[in-house]
Chain A
Amino acid sequence: MTGIAEIVVALLLIVGGAFGVVGSWGLVRLPDPMTRLHAPTKAATLGVGSVLMASMAHSWFLLGRVTWHELLIAIFLFLTAPVTGLFIAKAHMHLSWDKRELPRPHRDDDWATFGDSAAESPMVRAPDPPPRSE
């Protein structure tokens, strides 16, 4: 029984470590900022999620101590990861995309990123926005 639990924990750790290193490698490897945004989300959900599940399984089956607090971190991460992804994408669009590159929004609305108060942002005129590779 202990052997099976150890193998399950080891498998979860290996899966988590592999996803973690792939996510961070994608951050270095992928060519475009919007595609680079995609890679660390895998590290955040699958990688850290597997490690947290491994920690839960370890303390339940091997230490005999029932814990739930890893689940708290997992829920918090799963709730906040999409929000940070969306915010970073909007900041990137705001800094280095031209308004004409975007499709027109519905009816008379403007993109929130390029709305009325966008011109007042001190960061819009960032020095040398990087050229966008296709």
Chain B
Amino acid sequence: MTAWVLSAALWFAFGCFGLGQLFCLYRVVFAPGLSDRVLALDTMTINMIALLTLFGILHGTPMYFEASLLFAMVGFVSTVAFAKFVLRGDIIE
């Protein structure tokens, strides 16, 4: 009976996070500094986690869980590696 509510909310969330990805992409391209660009890329991985989870809800499968966990880990490690390189000139000292 209320299936359309769930469907509409799901597509609303898809639209919101897709729009967020576009905003982040704008900030990646037109960034005033290096740290802004990396922050925007980090936000893109976070939005991507949300999009993959929404995809899992849409298809009713837990298959996309591994992909979103990988996105979370790789996003974190790459951001920390960038910051470490800027701060110390080396990633693994």
Contacts and interface: CB of A to CB of B under 8 A. Distances in A.
Among A18, A70, A88, A113, the one with the most B-chain Cβ atoms within 10 Å of its Cβ is: A88
A95 B24 contact: no
Identify whether the interface residues of A are mostly helix, strand, loop, or mixed.
Answer: helix
Among A17, A40, A73, A113, the one with the most B-chain Cβ atoms within 10 Å of its Cβ is: A17
A121 B89 contact: yes
Contacts of A36: 36, 39
Interface string A73-92: 10011001001100111111
Contacts of B17: 17, 20-21, 47
A24 B23 contact: yes
Contact of B20 (A25, A55, A76, A80): A25
A3 B65 contact: no
A24 B34 CA distance: 18
A33 B15 CA distance: 26
Interface in B30-60: 32-36, 38-40, 42-43, 46-47, 49-50, 53-54, 56-57, 60
Contacts of A24: 19-21, 23-24, 43, 47
Interface of B: 1-3, 5-6, 8-10, 12-17, 19-21, 23-24, 26-27, 32-36, 38-40, 42-43, 46-47, 49-50, 53-54, 56-57, 60, 62, 65, 68-69, 72-73, 76, 79-80, 82-89
Interface of A: 2-3, 6-7, 9-11, 13-14, 16-18, 20-21, 23-25, 27-28, 33, 36-37, 40, 43-44, 47-48, 51-52, 54-55, 58-59, 62-63, 65, 67, 69-70, 72-73, 76-77, 80, 83-84, 87-92, 94-96, 113, 117-118, 120-123, 126, 129-130
